[in-house]
Structure 1
Amino acid sequence: MKNIAIIGECMIELNGKPFGAMHQTFGGDTLNAAVYLSRGCELNTEEQAITVSYVSAMGADPLSEGMIARWQQEGINTDLVLHDENRTPGLYLIQLDDQGERTFLYWRNQSPARYLLRHPDFNRIEQSLTKMDMVFVSGISLAILPDEDRSKLLTLLADLRRQGVEVSFDSNYRPALWPNDELRTVKEHYKAMYQTTDLALVTFDDEQLIWGDKTPEDTLTRLHNLGVTKVVVKLGEKGCLVGDTTHDNSYTVPTIPVETVIDTTSAGDSFNGGFLSCYLAGGSLEQSCQRGNALAGVVIQHRGAIIPKSATDVVTQI
């Protein structure tokens, strides 16, 4: 049995054109990854069973309860989702262009997840995390927190790593979430995060934007130098570049090109979920990347962050 805790925020999602047709659902980078990870776990044998726990804070309102119920239907353990009676979930609007690329508008300043570490029951979360095999966070998990809470989370993750919990991180950089888009602040926190990360699942475009990396190999080298043992650099339609210092090797894992891209909203999140479902079950980095690539390829052919489960079932056979 493997146990993974995914820390982050889920919001109400509106998908469509302003003052036009809107589809309402929910999503968030870490929650999306948790859903696709849980779906992928159905492939694994009993000896390789994985418990996926989502760690967040939600309101006590009907929308919050409805979202949590749907996570449970996806097989996600919600015992570590705290309730905040004074706040309601954040909201975001996705606008898509004709090529499937998206832009976002957010309303999340009073989101319960933003104040997760200040919740009076957060000490229960801290104790539970020590029993996990892996804890996964993203750059958005860090960005939404107030400064002092962000530092507290980094300290907590470092402590967990020293206790033998594997820490995984996706940089998932969103400039608008950082105060005044201060790149210096982003670099400071990301550097601290990488220094306590065992497995990095990053997108080259994000790393290039922050650090000015000229090539994916530059990203790989920089992260290894910061102490990250296993690095996966996602390259979109080109697949991903993988580096593992324990075996002193690096290689590219290609993906199958997708002719018709509908919506890239959850491409990286679904890759993470597919990758982790294989990796935690004992798959190699290469096998895990293959499943992540395949799942992302399916997801971007559908609209919305979380696509129907029937559409992803074929990917779990990888």
Structure 2
Amino acid sequence: MSIVDTKQRMVIFGECMVELRSTQRESSVSTRDENTDNNLMAKSFAGDTYNTAVYLKRCLPSSSISYLTAIGADFLSDELLFKMGEHEINTDLVFRSSSRNLGLYMIRNDNEGERTFAYWRNQSAATQTLNIMKGTEFACDWFYLSGISIAILDDEQRATLFELISSLKAKGSKIAFDPNYRARLWSSQEDAKYWTGKAYAEADLAFPGADDHLMLFGHTNADEIFSYLADKQIEEIVMKNGAVGVHILRQQEQCIVPVERVEQVVDTTAAGDAFNGGYMAARLAGRKPVESASYGAKVAATVITYPGAIISGDAFTNHIPSL
């Protein structure tokens, strides 16, 4: 696989939501006055593939990143469009719904930075993206999606999505996929397995996660995951396996790249998304897979030392050099 052109256009598909998080980390159980500042919330915008788009662009400013989604016609959607402009994400494939608004989620972190979420997204505009964009055609060098991108759609739109992917591949596009399994978004585990398998079968670059495969397929180690993917004809597999490291399988060669050690984890939100963005940015810049994995791990390690999915630009550039 050749990824050595910073000018290639990447289209990233999914949902960006309003993110609400506490301005002060809450301890496990304590008595608090409901009128204290502990109940103040900070607002931002995030979503798995959107996070990847932002971090990819930050790592490789010369890259061309378009985000494919649907948003509402409300003031929050207007704010999101403005924020995308600040991040230099192309909005030519952001569609508007007159009847639906942005999804929303609230995040809570424990003392180790692990998070729990509450979501309000079932009726979001993004769940209708393929219907709203009907008839729209575009070309790109890379098309990136996740399991969440697929899960939020109904079956008819999922079929339309894979028709789009087939059309893009026929034009020479490469496909990148992260399964990012979230059980609550699927009607059944079998449904999730079916559509995840279809996406893997189209992928040129895949980012399986050990936790995702354990929950969805019952795979307990890298060998089982690589065995499952063996007949998918994926050129490059980058498996994220927590503290164990990143397993890379490419052209029958396998290696493990250690992850960055972090002394104090603040918020693990977007860790995998940030890794994917850093990895793809490095590959677009011509780096080898091992070097790209190390770079992606550094991006992820930086992101989890700050609260929220998208950390400030200054905090990012203070730790991560552009490629």
TM-score calculated relative to the size of structure 1: 0.92
State the partner residue of 1:46.
none
Contact persistence 1:224–1:231 (CA under 8 A):
no
The alpha-carbon deviation at position 164 of structure 1 amounts to 1.6
Cα distance per residue 1:89-125 (max 9 Å; x no partner): 0110111111111111111111111001111x4322x
- Unmatched segments (≥5 aa) in structure 1: 43-48
Write the letter of the residue equivalent to 2:129.
L
1:192-243 Cα deviation digits (max 9, x unpaired): 1111111001211101211111211221232232221210001122320000
**Equivalent residue for 1:159, pick from 158, 167, 175:** 167
Alignment match, 1:277:
281
Q: 1:135 aligns with which of 139, 143, 146?
A: 143
Moved over 4 A (4+): none
Q: CA deviation at 1:317?
A: 4.5
Cα distance, 1:220–1:316 mapped onto 2, change above 3 Å: farther
CA contact under 8 A between 1:195 and 1:227: conserved in structure 2? yes
Identity value in percent: 38
Q: Does the Cα contact within 8 Å between 2:113 and 2:268 map onto a contact in 1?
A: yes
Residue 251 (structure 1) aligned with residue 255 (structure 2): yes
Q: Alignment partner of 1:315: what SS?
A: coil
Indicate whether 1:223 and 2:223 are aligned: no
Q: Distance in 2 between matches of 1:263 and 1:56?
A: 26
1:235 to 2:249 alignment:
no
Q: Deviations over 1:17-52 (max 9, x none)?
A: 69623211111001111100110113xxxxxx3200
Task: Choose which of 171, 174, 199 in structure 1 pairs with 2:179.
Answer: 171
What amino acid does structure 2 have at the position aligned with 1:202? P
| CA displacement 1:261-310 (0-9 Å, x = unmatched) | 11001100100111111112222211211111000000011100000111
Question: Residues 91 and 108 of structure 1 are in contact (CA less than 8 Å); yes or no, is this contact kept in structure 2?
Answer: yes
**Distance in 2 of aligned mates of 1:193 and 1:159:** 14
Contact 2:73 2:101 in 1 (8 A): yes
In the TM superposition, what are the counterparts of 1:1-318 in structure 2 within 5 Å? 1-16=7-22, 20-42=39-61, 49-119=62-132, 121-124=133-136, 127-128=137-138, 131-179=139-187, 182-245=188-251, 248-313=252-317, 314-317=319-322
Q: d(CA) in 1 for partners of 2:170 and 2:246?
A: 29
Structure with greater helix percent: 1
| 2:100 partner letter | R
* Contact 1:291-1:316 at 8 Å conserved across structures: no
Instruction: Answer whether contact 2:257 2:293 (CA < 8 A) is retained.
Output: yes
Aligned partners of 2:288 and 2:94: how far apart in 1?
31
Secondary structure of 2:321 counterpart: helix
Amino acid at match of 2:124: S
Taking the aligned partners of 1:104 and 1:145, their CA distance within structure 2 comes to 20
Query: Which SS does the other structure have where 1:35 is aligned?
Result: helix
Identify which range, 27-36 or 225-234, moves more after superposition: 225-234
